[in-house]
Structures are given as C-alpha cells and as structure tokens.
Amino acid sequence: MAKTPPKTTSRNKGKVADPPAKPPLGPKLSESYAEPQALGGETHQIAGADVATLTTSQGAPVADDQNTLRQGARGPALLEDFHFREKIFHFDHERIPERVVHARGYGAHGFFELTESLADITRADIFQRVGERTEAFVRFSTVVGNKGSFDLARDVRGFAVKLYTREGNWDLVGNNIPVFFIQDAIKFPDVVHAAKPEPDREFPQAQTAHDNFWDFISLTPESMHMVMWIMSDRTIPRSYRFMEGFGVHTFRLLDAEGRSTFVKFHWKPRLGLQSVVWNEAVKINGADPDFHRRDLWDAINLGAFPEWDLGLQLFDQDFADQFDFDVLDPTKIIPEEILPVRVVGRLVLDRVVDNFFAETEQVAFCTQNVPPGIDFSNDPLLQGRNFSYLDTQLKRLGGPNFTHLPINAPRCPFANFQQDGHMAFFNPKGRVNYEPNSWGAEGGPRENPERGFRSFTEEADGPKVRLRAESFADHYSQARQFYLSQTAIEQKHIGDALTFELSKVERPDIRARMVSHLINIDPGLAGTVANGLGLTELPLPAQAAQPTREDLPPSPALSIVQRGPGSLMGRKLGVLLTDGADAALYDALVKAAAKAGAVVEVVAPKIAGAVLSDGQLVPARQKIDGGPSVLFDAVAVLASPEGAALLAGDGAAKDFVNDAFGHCKFIGYSEAAERLFEKAGLLPDLDEGCLKLASAKDARAFIDACGPLRFWPRELKVDLDAKA
C-alpha cells in the first residue's frame, strides 16, 4: 500500500519563480488514521482578540495554566493533576540525544535545479530534465563541538544535502573539505575520540588544540593531507554562504544498461570563497557565538538567497587506472586542473525552517540513501559510513520509524511492509504484511525489476584479509601540493595555525613528532613551526611508506584567496556613525554598497541611532560596544568633529578601528574620524587599504576597492609572527 507523509509547512521568505508541478503524491492515509489538526483550533476572546484555546495533548481545554492543583491554597500538590503531569512529562523528555559529531548545525530549505542533462550517463531521475526543480534541505554543521558550542571554531564544516527526488531521497552527506583524516572507517571512532574533549577533564570544547588529538594525528601519517586543510583558513569560514561543499568520496553514476561512470561531487558557492583570520574568529565567538546561524537566517529573510553550483568530476576506469593516486582513497583529491569540474545544476536556499527541532534537529542523513542511477564505489571509508549512519539515527531518534517524520519522509509515493515500532505513523492497511503473497492487487507492493535500484555489477576477487592497499600508501605528496598551492599569506596562516595548536600540546615529544611529519611536506613550513614552538633543533623526518613527490604542480583551485569573489556582493559593510555626520556622504556610501550587492549595518554610540547633518535620524542596528568590527567584511567611520571627539575617548570605538586594521580590512573614513585613529594609535600607519571619504565619488571608489575583501600586505606589518 502506498503511503504519504504529512506535508511540512514552512514560511516563505522572498519570492522565486514557481517550480514545475510536483509529481502526484501517493494515496492519502487510511480514513482510520485521521490527519492531526493544525495547532490551535477553537478560539475565544481575550482583550478583544480571538486567541486559540489552550488544550492538553489529548485536546482537553485548559482552564488554568498558572497553578498546579493543590489541596487548599497552601496545601500539597495532587497526583490527579493530569495537565501538570503531562506538561512536565513532555518538558522532561523534550531533548533527544545530540549527534556524536556534527552536533551543532543549522539548516534551511530550498531547491536543486538541473541546468544540464546527464541522461547519457545516468538513469538517476534528478539528472534527466533541464529546468526541473527538486525540493532540498541542507544542514551545515561543525564536527567536534557539542550542540551548545560556538559557530566559529576551527573545525571541518558538514555540508549535508537531502534531495527529495521522484525516486526517493538522496542524501549527499559531505563536508567543506574534499578529503578526510582516515582511509578506513574502522579508525573513525579513534579520530573522533581523539578530537573530542579529553575524557578525564572534559575540555577543551570544540577545539583540537590538545595532546590527544595531535598524539593520534602524529601517529597516523595518512592524516597529513587533511592536516594541511584543517590548519588552513578553510576551517574558519566567514559564512556558510562562502564555502565549498564536497561529497568527499568517489561515487558511481549508472545508466539504464548498468554502465558506470565514476563521479566526485562539488558544491561551488556563487558568491566566492571567504574565510576569517584566527584572531578575528576568537573575537567573533565572543561577540556572537551564533554568527554563522544568524548570517544564514538574515540572508534568506532578506531575499539574498544563497546559491551553489553543483559540479561533477566525471571519469572512467581508464582515467582511474592512470591517475597518480587511488581514486578510492578518501585522503586524496583529483585536482581540477587535471579533471575540470562540470557544472550541471544549482542549489538555492530560499526558506528558513518553521521549527528548529522538528526540521534541523530531527533531520536524519544517511550516506546509503541514493536513488536508482547513483551507486557507491569501494572506498573503505564510504562503505563504513553506509553501515554506521543508520545505526546513529536509530539511537538518536528512538526507533526505526524516523523516516515517518515529515523532514525525513520522501515526497514521492512509497510503499512497503514495514510495520509497528515506536511512533509508527503509517502501517499497512488490510490483512497482508508479507511478501511474496498470492493476494493479487490486494497483496500490496511488489518489486519492480525495470525501475528498481540496481547495484553496479562488479567482480571481486582476492583473499579475505585485513590490510591497506599499497596504492593508499603515499601520505605526504598531496599534502605538499596543497601547501604549495596556497598564496604566501595563506601559507603563513597554516604555519600560524600549526604553531598555535601545537603550543597547546603539553608533551614535547608529540610536538616534535608532528614537526617530523611536516619536514616530509615542506621543510620551510617545518622550520617555521619549529621556530614558533622554540624547538632547539629539528627532529629527523618521519619514516615515510612512500617518498614525497616533488613534481606535483600547484593547483590554484585549492586557494581561497585566488578563488575570492572580487566584490562586496553578499557581504556586510559596518558603518560607525555619529551625530552630525555628513548626510550626503552617508547616503552616497549606502547607494554604492547597494549597487555592489552589499548590506549596510549602522553602528552608533546609542542604539537609537545617529542624527545626520541634515537632521535625518538613521537607526542603528548595533550599539558600539555590541557591534565590533569583526562582524563586518569592511568598515567605514563617518563622524562629525564632535562625534569623533566622543569616539576617541571610548575603548570600544578604539577597538573597532584597531581590530579592523589588524584584521586587514578595508577602512573608509571621514576627515574628522582621524582623531579616533590617532587616539587608537593607528596614525601615521594608515595604508592604501584605508581610504579617506569626502564625496560621493570617494564612496564609490571605496566600495570598489573593497573587492579583494582584505588588504593582505598589512598583515606582514602588524603580526609579530611575520617579523620573527
């Protein structure tokens, strides 16, 4: 019997073109299972307004929700108070176990639109018809921290996409980094245990800067490529909207005849890549630990819908055989310069959730959820994930019926003989609950050899063994390639990150062991870290299963700076404004920012805002001590002489410009604001990244200059490590 889940309702923010009509859903629930009423129902009047009548979960109207039932006004509470019992019972159980990893996440609804058909290489329905839209739900997350940790930890970001296709749900459960720490899933508990807070003391939270993590990593050479990525700025992204996503593993696409094409999946942000610097991340976590959540929520509600292109790296067995590394090794990539990414669609997030728990917290992603036409490779990490994820959902969501929850249920008709269990919303109707049976049309669903999922037919041969393929043994060459693909400032950040993390490691032997691996990646990097740690001499290079190749060319696609947006589009300009500031200059700056696609947020000494020179009151979004410059991509200070004198005596205002300068941001300023810069100690050190604003032309030039987002030459002057 076909069964259809209840629809999820969601508020719609902004407008996009109507998607094509959805396929018909399966039959409605049996009449014996009436669909629940929406919250609310019977109304009554309070202060002239119609309000819903409060009821128990069983629908009984509640007369008093302020007091428990007692024996006398000061007497004992009575056990028969079923309303109190139900209310406190539900409250006591309203939390479900958080995810072991990826606990802190944030999600949004949207759609995937196909822009190029892949009908020639896959039977997957989602890749057939150009222009067709498929409903999607995306959850971003950190990996190590708990649900209550902060957004801007130095951590890998989960990038999990659920696509509700016509032939079942497809969960592309990826990260913002295309490789992983380990090659075999049997080591997954170990790497997670090592990264989590140390079990005797339960700290540090959401950080890998401790002995256990680096002890494990320094004993696991296969992690070295991932180490370069996690110590790069990729793990401190400015926004979910400005980061890439990757399927990590090699998958297969299958056509109607079962022919296979290998595929690696990429999500490319249309707004370009962008990260923060470490000092900035630390301060953002203090100023707004929900920074990434708020950014996504605000962007969607403003109608600035985040978009990514879906790109595929497609290749056959001949390419796989000739490639320098094993395509089944999840610690390796195929550089885009060798195998270009082919864009075939776009992902748009255009709706925030109605309820965080019901959608973002209860969504269940499983790597084994693939529709016909998409299949797995023998990547040992992927094989292990396929086994593990289902187990995880059973633990978190209480039983096998988590697929009945609206956020997890398919949008296409579905039918099977699964029954009962905790919270079974749907059960087969009639007497037949098994297969095969001889009841004909009344006997329920049957397999469909023509449309059903089929796995790739692949011969497997060899002894039953526990070993790692020799083709997985090169642990340093791509790590070196990644490092050499970075710009000089990005290489500096990797060295800074390694030095910082290892400086938190208490055992000198672990620090030295890690440096011994870095020697195999790049001796210059190893020397930088050793110097930062105060090692008196370099250790011997770590023993390598295979020598590091030095002939791999740099891949510019691996650099954030070289893949930057080149404009302020989708970014935020913070304007520190005082009473009496030039109204014409402010208006010109707002217009120039809007033309560039940027959002302007006003910071002022008072939250009511600032009265400009023409008497116009401009409301503030932030008060100066609650709106530090770390929240913005570029800043401007527009002050009157009196306002500048006021700011010059304020510590938060001096921090505002000092942080912006130290984080290499572009700074625009009116002439009067120089008094603030002087008191902050920035004069006479202002550079080409600081632009004086006196006219509308200056405002436009400033916005144009902000395109690179950072004035990186400044870092070499303001950072002690750069001078060492």
Size of the chain, expressed as the number of residues it contains: 724
Task: Name which of 152, 129, 124, 131 is nearest 140 in CA terms.
Answer: 152
| Structure tokens belonging to residue 20 | 């094509």
124 with 118: CB under 8 angstroms? yes
Residues 175, 401, 408, 427: which is the catalytic one? 175
> Phi, psi at residue 50, to the nearest 5°?
-80, 120
* Tokens describing residue 115: 């822009």
What is d(CA 347, CA 340) in angstroms, rounded to the nearest whole number? 20
Identify the CA nearest to 309 among candidates 345, 263, 340.
345
The CA distance from 723 to 458, in Å, is 57
Q: Let me know if 102 is a catalytic residue.
A: yes
Active-site pick, 102, 210, 249, 292: 102
Closest residue by Cα to residue 515 from 523, 507, 56, 128: 523
Task: Please state, in angstroms and as integers, the Cα–Cα distance from residue 534 to each residue in 499, 528, 639, following that order.
Answer: 10, 10, 46
Query: Is residue 298 classed exposed, middle or buried when 0-12, 13-18 and 19+ CB atoms within 10 A define those classes?
Result: middle
- 279 given a catalytic annotation: no
Q: Exposure of 32 by Cβ count < 10 A (0-12 exposed, 13-18 middle, 19+ buried)?
A: exposed
Q: Which helix (H) or strand (E) is 112 found in, with range?
A: strand 105-114
CA separation for the pair 713, 698 (Å, rounded)? 22
d(CA 522, CA 524): 5
Residues 6+ apart with CB under 8 A from 417: 428, 432, 433, 434, 435, 444, 445
φ/ψ (deg, to 5) at 281: -60, -45
Annotated catalytic residues are 102, 175
